[in-house]
Amino acid sequence: MDSEPGDAPARHYDPGGWLAQYAGRMLVVCPQCGGRALVAPRPGLPAPRYFSELLFQPRRLACGGCGAVADWEPEVRGAGLVGAVLGGSEDPFFWQPLWLQTRCVGHVLWAYNEEHVDELSAYVGAQLRERGGARPTRAMFARLPPWMKRSDNRSEVLAGLETLRALAKRSAPAERSDAAHERGDRPRPHGSMYFRGGPYEGGP
């Protein structure tokens, strides 16, 4: 859902969705030309039954500008697969800077795709936030950094999200955000393990 800063809903209900819900498509910086590329599950794969399966599906990076293509496969470790760990301003498969990132109140604000931006806008713009029964260690909104949740930062964060929404419509190397030139905000170094019975998220 699209939302302008002044039209954000007064109430937001968080059902406890995971960040993995938005991991199907990731807009990234192309490693070859510096324009916008797309990271998505490799074509021909069956649709995942659970969002967590997106962390283990083979991925393809494709750039519509220069034609660059790269593939990613999960690491096999014993009887399981080691998947990606989400979070940070680089994609967790190819370690490329996310296309949707901008500087905001002394930090870097980022998102994976347009739907991710929309959900963040709805949450940040809400005057009243309600939480469902999901465990906060898994819920995306519960794990947002404090600076994004502070009411006195609301207008700046919403403006930053509008910048990300505009960036999603651009693709040329010269239109890349200056924040996307930097690295260092990588996810934690452990991976998620997937066994025959289902996913097991390893690490502390």
DSSP string, 172-186: SGGGS-GGGG----P
Tokens coding 164: 């990300």
Tokens coding 180: 């996307």
Q: Which residue has the tokens 């025959």?
A: 196
CA distance 180 to 21: 23
Domain count within the chain = 1
Does 28 reside within a domain? yes
Q: Grade residue 193 by pLDDT with cuts at 50, 70 and 90.
A: very low
Does 21 reside within a domain? yes
Structural domain boundaries enclosing 105: 5-180
CA distance 5 to 77: 46
Tens digits of per-residue pLDDT, 80-138? 788 888 999 999 999 999 999 999 999 999 999 999 999 999 989 887 777 766 555 56
Q: Grade residue 64 by pLDDT with cuts at 50, 70 and 90.
A: very high
Q: Grade residue 147 by pLDDT with cuts at 50, 70 and 90.
A: very high
Tens digits of per-residue pLDDT, 1-52? 444 444 545 777 666 677 988 999 999 999 999 999 999 999 988 887 877 7
Does 194 reside within a domain? no
Closest CA to 24 of 82, 75, 88, 91: 91
Does 115 reside within a domain? yes
Does 151 reside within a domain? yes
Q: Indicate the SS3 state at residue 114.
A: helix
Q: Grade residue 199 by pLDDT with cuts at 50, 70 and 90.
A: very low
Tens digits of per-residue pLDDT, 160-191? 999 999 999 999 999 999 998 755 445 444 44
Does 169 reside within a domain? yes
Total-model pTM: 0.81
Quick one: pLDDT at residue 77?
A: 81
Does 155 reside within a domain? yes
Quick one: pLDDT at residue 190?
A: 42
Quick one: pLDDT at residue 103?
A: 96
**Least trusted range by pLDDT, from 63-77, 106-120, 133-147:** 133-147
CA distance 81 to 193: 6
Query: Bigger pLDDT: 102 or 193?
Result: 102
Does 153 reside within a domain? yes
